[in-house]
Chain A
Amino acid sequence: MREMAVIIQRDLPSVQAALQTSVTPIAAGSPEAAAKPLLELRAVTKSFGPVTALADFEASVAPGEFVTVVGPSGCGKSTLFNIVAGLEEPDAGGILRFEGNSCHAADLLGRVSFMPQQDLLLPWRNVVDNAILALEVEGMPRAEARAKALKMLPEFGLAGFEKQYPHQLSGGMRQRVALMRTFLFERDLMLLDEPFGALDALTRAMMQRWLLDVWQKYRRTILFITHDVDEAIFLGDRVLVMTARPGSVKLEQVVDLPRPRRPEIVTAPEFVRLKRTLLDAIEEESMKSFQSAVAEEKAK
């Protein structure tokens, strides 16, 4: 309850601001406007032994853009993220470009701020010290990093919680600490892997609105994985629908809904139309992956 109150209080000024300013589309939001993509993947393939997780994956992300990725479970979304985070090398033949330069996945280590599905907070570090983990790794003195994090706490709804330890926090707060850790690791590209997947619907809706606020303020480029089509449309400038395994892009849908987006937008006709298009595409792929799973079962 306490945490909700914090968010609601914090949201009020931004809601007022949103009402006062006229709706301005974000230039970087439309892919046409991007002269030079920040991240580009061409014909990226990744196999693990006999299993091909990604096949000829193509995508590009413009600076400042918010791109969401949806797809049936097991479609290789996490493999995609591991490649872009630099944790796994794709098979030879594909092209990976970052800031216009072709590179190996390993070159991306330390250049992309990555937030995995689990918050992975370290239980022996309090909120502030968890948030500054990446800064510490970079070699910033602790005092300086802590001061920086303390200034950011209110914005993440964590004011007054700096001395708390992860086991004392609710799921939503832990997730915000993890997000703060990701934000403090200031990189142009942020990778968020289902960050709100484990939260209840109410907390999740608030976190989404809050994330948009923070994104608009900091203007980072975000690549965001989710299972939830509503979330993908509500947050994204563009939604990539992935095919069943081996994963590639089935559909690339531009979301031209105005920003800032209000929660009611999910019932607007444009929103519902987009949702239908996306759901149809996902449904088709889910059926495929379901059928292939059944076929595999039978083959056994």
Chain B
Amino acid sequence: MSAALPSSSLAVQRGVLGAVLLVLCWEGLARGLHLPSYVLPAVSDILAGVWSKRALLSEAAGYTLLEALVGYGLGCLVGIGLAVAITMLPVLRTVILPAATAINAVPVVGYSPLILLWFGIGVVSKMVMVAMAVSFTVFLSTLAGLDRVDRRAVDLMRSFGAGRLSILWRLRLPTALPLLLAGMRVSTVRSVIIAIITEMLGAYGGLGWVIYQAVLQIDFVQVWSAIFVASAASLSFFGLIGLLERKILFWK
């Protein structure tokens, strides 16, 4: 436990160092070679762009994050719910698992024309897309977690006279938590990506919409500014769930 802290802070130091080096190289290349902004604008120009467009970008980021978060929440609920249902009623496994796999054999974005048609250009279609993408990942990881339960621990609970629900609540779900949360953590970044991509295909706002508009206006500094903001939002969402994960899984 005590050894994990210094090594992780060392990892953070290295990560920061790497990022700083990358930014310096980027800045040096862009300025030194006088690259035009449609090839690669300098980092300082991008940051200045973020600052000057802060009202537009923060509104867009709020829009995208709303879609991503609501879709994410829905997706997690559906994924966990399906996995629990399969565990409680094993007959469902042969029905749900092939259907879920078939639906997800196509990249989720492939469904976007249909989803936009059904749910409109507004936020709902993005939430549905995010939920679809997130639910499958969370479903598979939760199912793997629930299946990992120790047979002997189940027998012990049964010998105490515990029923299926009690075993689910006291044993199976906590056992599944590490994998469930890992699936949730991976899905954070996916949820923001899917929201942005769907916005590019048709939306009234959001970072994807800003990027799309900026490309049409040949304003590449703004494209990059939006990408920076999206990346920051994504990373903080990822970090937040990661933090939550470490808090919950204190015994790992």
Residues of A within 8 A of B (CB): 82, 85-87, 109-114, 116, 118, 120, 122-124, 133-134, 136-138, 165-167, 185
Contacts and interface: CB of A to CB of B under 8 A. Distances in A.
A49 B158 CA distance: 24
Given A133-B157, A134-B160, 7 more contacts: A85-B155, A87-B158, A109-B161, A113-B159, A116-B152, A124-B177, A137-B160
Given A120-B150, A167-B251, A87 B161 contact: no
Nearest to B162: A137
Q: Which of B166, B170, B250, B251 has the most CB of A within 10 A?
A: B251
A138 B171 contact: no
B159 A136 contact: no
18 contacts: A85-B155, A87-B158, A113-B159, A114-B156, A116-B152, A116-B156, A120-B152, A120-B153, A120-B156, A122-B170, A122-B174, A124-B174, A133-B170, A134-B160, A137-B166, A138-B161, A165-B251, A166-B251
B161 A123 contact: no
A134 B250 CA distance: 23
Nearest to B174: A124
> Lowest 3 CB-CB distances: which A-B pairs, in order?
A110-B161, A114-B159, A123-B251
Contacts of B174: 122, 124
Highest count of chain A CB atoms <10 Å: which of B153, B156, B166: B156
A111 B158 CA distance: 11
Nearest to B248: A124
A114 B171 CA distance: 17
Interface string B4-16: 0000000000000
Contacts of A109: 158-159, 161
B160 A133 contact: yes
A86 B162 CA distance: 12
Contacts of B251: 123-124, 165-167
Contacts of A116: 152, 155-156
Contacts of B166: 137
A82 B162 CA distance: 16
A290 B174 CA distance: 42
A218 to B, nearest CB: 18
Contacts of A165: 250-251
A244 to B, nearest CB: 24
A217 to B, nearest CB: 23
Contacts of A87: 155, 158-159
Contacts of A85: 155, 159
A123 B175 CA distance: 9
A187 B155 CA distance: 17
Contacts of A86: 158-159
A231 B157 CA distance: 28
Nearest to A191: B159
A136 B167 CA distance: 11
Nearest to A166: B251
Contacts of A113: 159
Contacts of A134: 160
A138 B158 contact: no
Contacts of A122: 153, 170-171, 174
Interface in B148-204: 150, 152-153, 155-162, 166, 170-171, 174, 177
Interface in B55-99: none
A87 B174 CA distance: 23
Q: Which of A137, A166, A185 has the most CB of B within 10 A?
A: A137
A110 B152 contact: no
Contacts of A137: 157, 160-162, 166, 170
Contacts of A136: 170
A59 to B, nearest CB: 19
Contacts of B170: 122, 133, 136-137
Contacts of B250: 124, 165
Contact of B159 (A110, A123, A124): A110
A82 B177 CA distance: 29
Contacts of B158: 86-87, 109
A166 B250 CA distance: 12
A254 B12 CA distance: 66
Nearest to A114: B159
A185 B160 contact: yes
Contacts of B171: 122
A51 B250 CA distance: 44
Nearest to A108: B159
Of listed B153, B160, B174, B250, residue having the most chain A CB within 10 A: B160
B57 to A, nearest CB: 41
Highest count of chain B CB atoms <10 Å: which of A109, A113, A185: A109
A122 B171 CA distance: 8
A120 B156 CA distance: 8
Interface string B233-244: 000000000000
